[in-house]
Amino acid sequence: MREHLLITFLGRGSLGAGKGNIKEYRTANYHFPDGCCITTPYFGLALADHIQPDRLLILGTAGSMWSVLLEHHVEDGAHDDLRLELLDAESKAAVTADHVAQVTPILSQTMGREISARLIPDARDMDEQLAILQTMAEQVKAQARITLDVTHGFRHFGMLGFLSGFMLQRLMNDLVVEGLWYGALDMTWKQGDGKPVTPVLRLDGLHAVQDWISALERFDVSGEYGVFADLLQRDGLAQDKAQCLRQAAFHEITLNIHDAAQRLRTVLPVLDTPLRGASELFRERLRDRLEWARLNRPSDQQLYLARRALIRGDYQRCAILTFEARITWACEDSGKDPLNRRDREAVHDLEMSLSRQARRDRNQRVCPLDDLRQIRNAVAHGTPPDHRRLQQILKNPDRLHEFLEESLASLQRA
């Protein structure tokens, strides 16, 4: 069973009226989107009551209001020595890990749920920022569900909290970020009865946008558009269409371009109309990346994908697709079926024979189609080319890129 972990920051509080230099949290009536209202000085506690996590992780600095947190969860006079010690330490930003370790079991007992608390630095530089992210990572269990509260603490803690969700998802593939919450104290307003109400905001839209950015980055590196399926389905894409996208990605990876295009043609009409959520922001970019499936000639589809592979430096896929596009083009030109194995092999053998004969007739060293075949075999099977010129090309990424670029250009003119 997945543990549901709520991660929240503990801030420094503000000067309380009539209390001299003693700091406190301002009590607020936090109003949740579902209409629930909880009154508390610390939003993390309200959120914990609202979503009922299995565990609450409280992160605070050496100057955070640990004493206030303790005071609100013990009976009058209980643990006064520890509270006063914390109060003095907070004023000097000198709370220690030992102090926090003493507070944790008291909070767990009085709040009736498992509490973890950790001391973190102020995140003044990269080392301290990375230390906070490392602390979070150490506290998250495998297959966890996490909710993030970015209300309290320094303002830049909100950005760290936001970033931590994506970092943890990358470190742990089976981790789920369920929500990003913010108690908007600056947006407090008064109802008709004069009662102040503080709205609670869900920032999941930002999380969804980041998921899309990450998916686009992965696609541009790998060409694997199955990474979009879950994001689209989350924003309303029918399950069967999302499955078609996954199947198309599988077929393309296995070089079954025909079936990949067929699956994508069932998805593309959906991308011609507006989508819900963050998917709408990226709909046109995704549609542009899948438009190749609407090309009529299979050779043109292979050529498009070969160019995309060359752009991202996937020389193996580029060489394979460029060579296959040349054979597919010859099949189309001669009225043969490029998907029929016997037709394709016959056209392949004829094209290779004609290309080699042309080289002999012209007394040339270069045979473009045979050279491409040897490069394809080298990058796909590890078979060294026969000619030293081709062997040298494979030792230089710039020369290999240029060779494939010229192969694509010559095929376009064919």
Which stretches within 193-297 are classed as H helix? 204-222, 229-234, 239-253, 257-271, 279-290
d(CA 372, CA 385): 10
Measured over all CA atoms, what is the biggest interatomic distance in the chain, rounded to whole angstroms? 103
Single-letter residue type at 4: H
Cβ contact 117:58 at 8 Å = yes
pLDDT at 302 (0 to 100)? 96
Assign 3-state DSSP to the chain and report helix, strand, coil percentages, each to 5: 60, 15, 30
Which of 153-167, 260-274, 325-339 has the least mean pLDDT?
Answer: 153-167
pLDDT at 414 (0 to 100)? 42
pLDDT at 257 (0 to 100)? 95
Residue 246: strand, helix, or coil: helix
Cβ contact 67:83 at 8 Å = yes
Model confidence at 145, pLDDT cuts 50, 70, 90, reads: confident
| Orientation of helix 315-333 relative to helix 397-413, angle to 10° | 20
pLDDT beyond 60 at 327: yes
Which stretches within 78-125 are classed as H helix? 80-91, 97-111
The helix or strand, by DSSP H or E, that contains position 119, with its residue range, turns out to be strand 114-119
Q: Which of 271, 315, 278 is nearest to 294 (CA)?
A: 271
How large is the average pLDDT for residues 130-134? 82
How large is the average pLDDT for residues 320-347? 94
Residue 194 CA: distances (Å) to CA of 113, 189, 190, 382: 34, 9, 5, 77
Higher-confidence residue of 144 and 5: namely 5
d(CA 326, CA 299): 7
Q: Whole-number mean pLDDT of the chain?
A: 85
pLDDT at 202 (0 to 100)? 85
pLDDT in tens, 229-282: 988 998 888 999 999 999 999 999 999 999 999 999 999 999 988 888 888 888
pLDDT in tens, 3-52: 899 999 888 765 444 444 445 567 889 999 998 998 888 888 889 989 99
Q: What percent of the chain has pLDDT over 90?
A: 40
Long-range Cβ contact pairs of 270-278 (< 8 A, separation 24 or more): 270/237, 270/238, 270/241, 275/232, 275/235, 275/236, 275/237, 276/235, 276/236, 277/205, 277/208, 277/234, 277/235, 277/236, 278/205, 278/208, 278/209, 278/211, 278/212, 278/231, 278/235
- Centre a 10 Å sphere on the Cβ of residue 103 and count the other Cβ atoms it contains: 23
pLDDT at 365 (0 to 100)? 59
- Centre a 10 Å sphere on the Cβ of residue 333 and count the other Cβ atoms it contains: 11
pLDDT at 159 (0 to 100)? 67
pLDDT in tens, 188-217: 888 878 889 999 988 777 777 878 888 888
Which of 77-91, 138-152, 300-314, 354-368 has the least mean pLDDT?
Answer: 354-368
pLDDT at 165 (0 to 100)? 65
pLDDT at 70 (0 to 100)? 85
pLDDT beyond 70 at 392: yes
Distance of CA 233 to the CA centre of its chain: 15
14: exposed, middle or buried (C-beta count within 10 Å: 0-12, 13-18, 19+)?
A: exposed
pLDDT at 24 (0 to 100)? 58
pLDDT at 400 (0 to 100)? 96
pLDDT in tens, 93-123: 899 999 999 999 998 888 888 899 999 888 7
